[in-house]
């Protein structure tokens, strides 16, 4: 489903060129449930942003569903992002003045779906993350775990084949984190490819495959033993 070939990413900082990702080869198959681990500053978010079409490699090739998206222009890029990928972030990124339901409707507004259909699909998505009873609440009135459920509902509402989550449990306690991972496991069991970044080995152990990044390179790739293969 996803193939990175010799992907590098460099930034110019002042007169210096710093290389954040070095010649990355990575294959993600449809149905994978993968954790990306590694120390802070090792390049995990940069890698996720490239996979998520939020950023382009400085060199190398990126194939998404057999299309070389490294050649796409900004409009094509935005379209792939909106239609094929669901994003979840550590700090939830909900709009504070919109209710849970309205937040979940947002990606469908960009996709040009009618109001009635938006509402129906947003309700379904919130049902799926077991938050239907809070749909008219503002984010402020929700706990961290509930906010992350809203963010997941928003990520799945356009039915993407791929979900990317950058430290989705980073702001949550252990019990809530496990409940959130449970939702990802269920989505994966239904066929969605899920890739998460995490610092926590206990969280990574709930996936099926762990990739370790260090200094911009993939240094290890391990299948999780007895992992959540459904």
Ligand X SMILES: Nc1ncnc2c1ncn2[C@@H]1O[C@H](COP(=O)(O)OP(=O)(O)O)[C@@H](O)[C@H]1O
Which of 125, 130, 89 has its CA nearest to residue 104? 125
Contact between 172 and 182 under an 8 Å Cβ cutoff? The reply is no
Residue 38: contacted member of Mg ion, ligand X, none (CB under 5 to 8 Å, by partner type): ligand X
Which of 140, 195, 208, 128 has its CA nearest to residue 164? 195
Distances (CA, A) of 121 to 78, 82, 105, 112, 188: 22, 16, 8, 13, 19
Q: Which is nearer to ligand X, 12 or 175 (CB)?
A: 12
Cβ-in-10-Å burial (0-12, 13-18, 19+) of 49 comes to middle
Listed ranges 19-27, 37-45, 91-99, 174-182: which one lies at the site for Mg ion (CB under 5 A): 37-45
* Selected binder of ligand X within 43, 60, 107, 160 (CB under 6 A): 43
Q: Which is nearer to ligand X, 119 or 217 (CB)?
A: 217
20 binds ligand X (CB under 6 A): yes
Q: In terms of DSSP H, where are the helices of the chain?
A: 44-51, 74-84, 100-110, 115-128, 144-156, 174-189, 201-204
Contact between 81 and 53 under an 8 Å Cβ cutoff? The reply is yes
The C-alpha atoms of residue 28 and residue 163 are separated, in whole angstroms, by 12
Q: Which is nearer to ligand X, 51 or 162 (CB)?
A: 51
45 binds ligand X (CB under 6 A): yes
46 binds Mg ion (CB under 5 A): no
Residue 20: contacted member of Mg ion, ligand X, none (CB under 5 to 8 Å, by partner type): ligand X
* Selected binder of Mg ion within 4, 21, 35, 45 (CB under 5 A): 45
Q: Which is nearer to Mg ion, 44 or 56 (CB)?
A: 44
Which of 112, 108, 141 has its CA nearest to residue 123? 108
46 binds ligand X (CB under 6 A): yes
Residue 226: contacted member of Mg ion, ligand X, none (CB under 5 to 8 Å, by partner type): none
Listed ranges 10-18, 139-147, 168-176, 180-188: which one lies at the site for ligand X (CB under 6 A): 10-18
Please, what is the minimum distance in Å from the beta carbon of residue 173 to ligand X?
Answer: 22
Please, what is the minimum distance in Å from the beta carbon of residue 90 to Mg ion?
Answer: 8
* Residue listed under structure tokens 């992350």: 148
Give the number of residues written for the chain: 230
Interface residues with Mg ion (CB under 5 A)? 44-45
Interface residues with ligand X (CB under 6 A)? 11, 13, 18, 20, 38, 40-46
């Amino acid at each position: 489903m996803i193939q990175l070939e010799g992907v590098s990413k460099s930034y110019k900082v002042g007169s210096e060129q710093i290389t954040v990702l070095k010649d990355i080869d990575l294959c993600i198959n449809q149905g994978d449930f993968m954790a990306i681990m590694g120390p802070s500053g090792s390049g995990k978010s940069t890698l996720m942003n490239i996979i998520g079409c939020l950023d382009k490699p400085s060199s190398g090739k990126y194939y998404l569903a057999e299309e070389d998206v490294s050649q796409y222009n900004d409009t094509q890029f935005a379209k792939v992002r909106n239609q094929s990928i669901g994003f979840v972030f550590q700090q939830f990124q909900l709009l504070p003045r919109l209710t849970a339901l309205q937040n979940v409707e947002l990606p469908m507004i960009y996709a040009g779906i009618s109001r009635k259909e938006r509402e129906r699909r947003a309700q379904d998505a919130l049902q799926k993350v077991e938050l239907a009873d809070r749909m008219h609440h503002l984010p402020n009135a929700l706990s961290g775990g509930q906010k992350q459920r809203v963010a997941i509902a928003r990520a799945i509402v356009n039915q993407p084949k791929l979900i990317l989550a950058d430290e989705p449990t980073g702001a949550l306690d252990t019990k809530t984190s496990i409940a959130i991972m449970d939702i990802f496991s269920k989505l994966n069991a239904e066929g969605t490819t899920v890739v998460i970044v995490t610092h926590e080995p206990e969280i990574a152990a709930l996936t099926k495959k762990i990739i370790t990044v260090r200094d911009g390179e993939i240094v290890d790739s391990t299948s999780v033993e007895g992992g959540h293969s459904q």
